[in-house]
């Protein structure tokens, strides 16, 4: 006879789950020095969630992506305004005098080339271009950038939902491990009390007990101690993973404000309701919708790149060379001495003979890939919701059943001990009652853990915000 049924399978399944969860999260934890009990930070589930979200590097990464997307939007909107380009140069130039015309010939009175005839010149050119009509090059890129920001904001919600689920898994695992230790302690106390009663009757020479009954008590008690050690191991692992997740300093310890698993079990809504909620509220669906819209605008922008862009421009130039005389003739340009400005209208059209079309084809292929991803999500997420829903129903029934069994078996223990004292029950019957109570109580807290965890997973699958 054992305190818990099915050695190392059912009996240890809960704590193997905790260890497995900790390894899956793959978080590096550093143990800090223990502090006095009164200096521990007391945290509720909502506080743990808030700390994990606010300190998550994954969240910081998405925030950086949002900032980058906002920069893309700012660039797209800036394209509506004039673009001003200036160029300034300075350098050496040969001095020159205004040419003379004599006898039908142009004479150059400039000095001969030499070091003394080398001067300096400076020139600044300016052009301000204002787009007039671009076939959607600017507006489509603006819309694409705006949708890209929204897609990343929904990606943020997805990351938060994952963190919330991870925190709840660890939170319930911590309470489960602590409840397991308390159950083991309670079972040990029952066995200690049974041993004292058997010893007392042995001293009195009662025929209702035997020396071997004490050996049975020791056997059962050892099993409860081993179970407690396993629960402590699971608690330590989950504790350090949680501490790393909320990024507490090594010298700060915490404890949970809640001492037991929530026992309130509400009737869930219909499955169709959860599936409908998931279809409208899952961040993945919203993110894909915005990503598809953004990609569609990018395709339109790439198509518009194959059309001309019409613009107006202001052009001006100012140049001067002190060693050169100014030639006042508007038909003969002078690159070194001039000043002019003017307004023009024009068009710019780039012909690349297939490069732009290939770019558009690639973007359309990426758009189709997003469509397939959305179709896959629409098919798989309802399955995930249905699976989580059924697991939640099963866990709820199991928790209610084992709650009744745990209450009944505890009453059985009290009655069996009283009957044993009166001599109407044997020690075997009393130990069997304690054994059954340990089994039912451990299954009850495990069922409560599964119920609360399945509810958290159902809320995640349905896209319900719980933070």
Q: Phi and psi (nearest 5°) for 456?
A: -65, -40
141 CB-near residues (< 8 Å, 6+ apart): 76, 79, 297, 298, 301
73 in Cβ contact with 149 (< 8 Å):
yes
Cβ contact 386:271 at 8 Å: yes
- Phi/psi of residue 309, nearest 5 degrees: -120, 130
Distance CA 214, CA 203 (A): 13
Domains of the chain: 10-80+134-308+349-461 (1.20.1600.10), 81-95+117-133+309-348 (no CATH)
Q: Output the six-digit token pair for 228.
A: 């407690």
Q: Is the pLDDT at 12 greater than 60, yes or no?
A: no
pLDDT digits (tens, 9 = 90+) for 59-69: 999 999 999 99
Is the pLDDT confidence value at 95 over 50?
Answer: yes
Residue with tokens 């994954």: 58
d(CA 462, CA 174): 25
* Among candidate residues 310, 324, 256, 284, the one with its CA nearest the CA of residue 118: 324
Contacts of residues 449-453 at CB distance under 8 Å and 24 or more positions apart, as own/partner, are: 449/14, 449/172, 449/173, 449/175, 449/176, 449/261, 450/391, 450/395, 450/398, 450/399, 451/265, 451/392, 451/395, 451/396, 451/398, 451/399, 452/168, 452/172, 452/261, 452/262, 453/168, 453/169, 453/172, 453/395
8 A C-beta contact, residue 154 and residue 287: yes
Nearest to 141 by CA among 52, 74, 223, 50: 74
Strands 309-320 and 118-133 come out as antiparallel
The answer to whether 15 and 180 have CB atoms below 8 angstroms apart is: yes
Q: Report whether 347 contacts 307 (CB < 8 A).
A: no
- Give the CB-side neighbour count of residue 152, counting CA atoms within 13 A: 19
Who has greater pLDDT, 274 or 187?
Answer: 274
Interval 188-201: pLDDT, tens = 888 888 888 889 88
The strand pair at 118-133 and 254-256 is best described as unpaired
Residue 257 sits at φ, ψ, to 5 deg, of -70, -35
At residue 19 the predicted structure's pLDDT band, cuts being 50, 70 and 90, is very low
Structure tokens at 306: 């194959």
Pair 274, 462: CB distance under 8 Å: yes
Q: Could you write out the three-class secondary structure of 403-444?
A: HHHHHHHHHHHHHHHHHHHHCCCCHHHHHHHHHHHHHHHHHH
Task: Indicate the DSSP class of residue 306.
Answer: T
CA-to-CA distance for 220 and 222, rounded, in angstroms? Answer: 5
Q: Which H or E run includes 317?
A: strand 309-320
- Residue indicated by tokens 């978080």: 27
The 8 Å CB, 24+ separation contacts for 181-185 are: 181/228, 181/231, 181/232, 181/235, 183/438, 183/441, 183/442, 183/445, 184/224, 184/225, 184/227, 184/228, 184/231, 185/228
DSSP 179-215: HHHHHHHHHHHHHHHHHHHHHHHHHTT-TT--HHHHH
Percent of the chain whose predicted confidence (pLDDT) is above 90: 61
Cα 356 off chain centre by: 36
| Average pLDDT over every residue of 118-142 | 95
What does the pLDDT average to over 450-457?
A: 96
Helix (H, G, I), strand (E, B) or coil at 353: coil
Tens-digit pLDDT profile for residues 40-88? 899 999 999 999 999 999 999 999 999 999 999 999 999 999 999 999 9
What pLDDT digit, counting tens, does each position of 303-335 carry? 999 999 999 999 999 999 998 888 887 788 889
In whole angstroms, what is the distance from residue 284 CA to residue 381 CA?
Answer: 10
> What is the DSSP secondary structure assignment for residue 37, as one 8-state letter?
G
pLDDT at 5 over 70: no
| 131, pLDDT greater than 90 | yes
Mean pLDDT of 268-287: 95
Read off the pLDDT of each residue in 431-456 and give the average, rounded to a whole number: 91
Q: Quote the pLDDT of residue 68.
A: 95
**HSE value, Cβ hemisphere, 13 Å, CA-based, for 311:** 21
- Greater model confidence, 20 or 379: 379
- Asked whether the beta carbons of 122 and 319 are under 8 A apart, the reply is yes
Cα distance between residue 103 and residue 433, in whole Å: 136
pTM: 0.78
Contacts 24+ apart (CB under 8 A), 412-421: 412/436, 412/437, 413/190, 413/437, 417/193, 417/194, 417/197, 420/194, 420/197, 420/208, 421/197
Asked whether residue 8 carries a pLDDT value surpassing 60, the answer given is: no
């Amino acid at each position: 006879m054992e305190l818990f049924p099915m050695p190392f399978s059912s009996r240890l399944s809960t704590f193997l789950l905790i260890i497995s969860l900790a390894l899956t999260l793959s978080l590096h934890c550093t143990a800090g020095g223990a502090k006095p009990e009164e200096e521990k930070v007391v945290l509720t589930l909502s506080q743990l969630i808030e700390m994990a979200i606010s300190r998550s590097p994954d969240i910081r990464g998405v925030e950086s992506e949002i900032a980058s997307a906002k920069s893309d939007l700012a660039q797209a909107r800036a394209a509506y305004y004039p673009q001003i380009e200036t160029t300034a140069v300075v350098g050496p130039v040969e001095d020159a005098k205004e040419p003379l015309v004599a006898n039908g010939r142009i004479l150059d009175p400039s000095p001969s080339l030499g070091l003394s005839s080398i001067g300096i010149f400076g020139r600044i050119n300016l052009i301000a271009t204002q787009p007039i009509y671009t076939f959607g090059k600017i507006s489509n890129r603006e819309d694409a950038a705006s949708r890209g920001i929204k897609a990343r904001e929904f990606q943020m919600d997805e990351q938060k939902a994952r963190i919330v689920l991870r925190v709840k898994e660890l939170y319930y695992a911590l309470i489960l491990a602590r409840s397991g230790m308390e159950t083991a302690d309670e079972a040990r106390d029952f066995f200690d009390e049974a041993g004292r009663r058997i010893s007392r009757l042995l001293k009195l020479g009662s025929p209702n007990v035997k020396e071997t009954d004490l050996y049975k008590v020791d056997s059962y008690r050892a099993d409860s101690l081993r179970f407690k050690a396993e629960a402590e191991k699971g608690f330590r692992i989950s504790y350090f993973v949680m501490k790393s997740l909320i990024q507490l300093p090594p010298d700060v310890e915490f404890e949970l404000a809640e001492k037991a698993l929530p026992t309130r079990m509400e009737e869930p809504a219909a499955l169709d309701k959860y599936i409908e909620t998931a279809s409208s509220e899952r961040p993945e669906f919203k993110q894909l919708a915005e990503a598809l819209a953004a990609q569609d605008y990018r395709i339109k922008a790439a198509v518009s790149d194959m059309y001309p862009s019409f613009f107006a421009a202001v052009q001006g130039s100012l140049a001067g060379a002190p060693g050169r005389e100014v030639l006042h003739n508007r038909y003969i340009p002078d690159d070194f001495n001039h000043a002019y400005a003017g307004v023009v209208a024009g068009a710019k059209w780039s012909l690349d003979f297939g490069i732009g079309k290939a770019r558009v084809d690639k973007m359309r292929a990426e758009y189709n890939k997003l469509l397939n991803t959305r179709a896959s999500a629409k098919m798989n997420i309802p399955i995930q919701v249905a699976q989580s829903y059924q697991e939640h129903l099963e866990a709820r029934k199991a928790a209610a059943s084992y709650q009744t069994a745990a209450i009944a078996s505890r009453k059985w223990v009290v009655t069996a001990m009283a009957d044993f004292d009166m001599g109407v029950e044997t020690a075997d019957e009393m130990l069997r009652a304690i054994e059954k109570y340990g089994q039912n109580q451990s299954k009850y807290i495990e069922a409560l853990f599964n119920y609360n965890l399945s509810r958290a997973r159902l809320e995640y699958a349905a896209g319900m915000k719980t933070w």
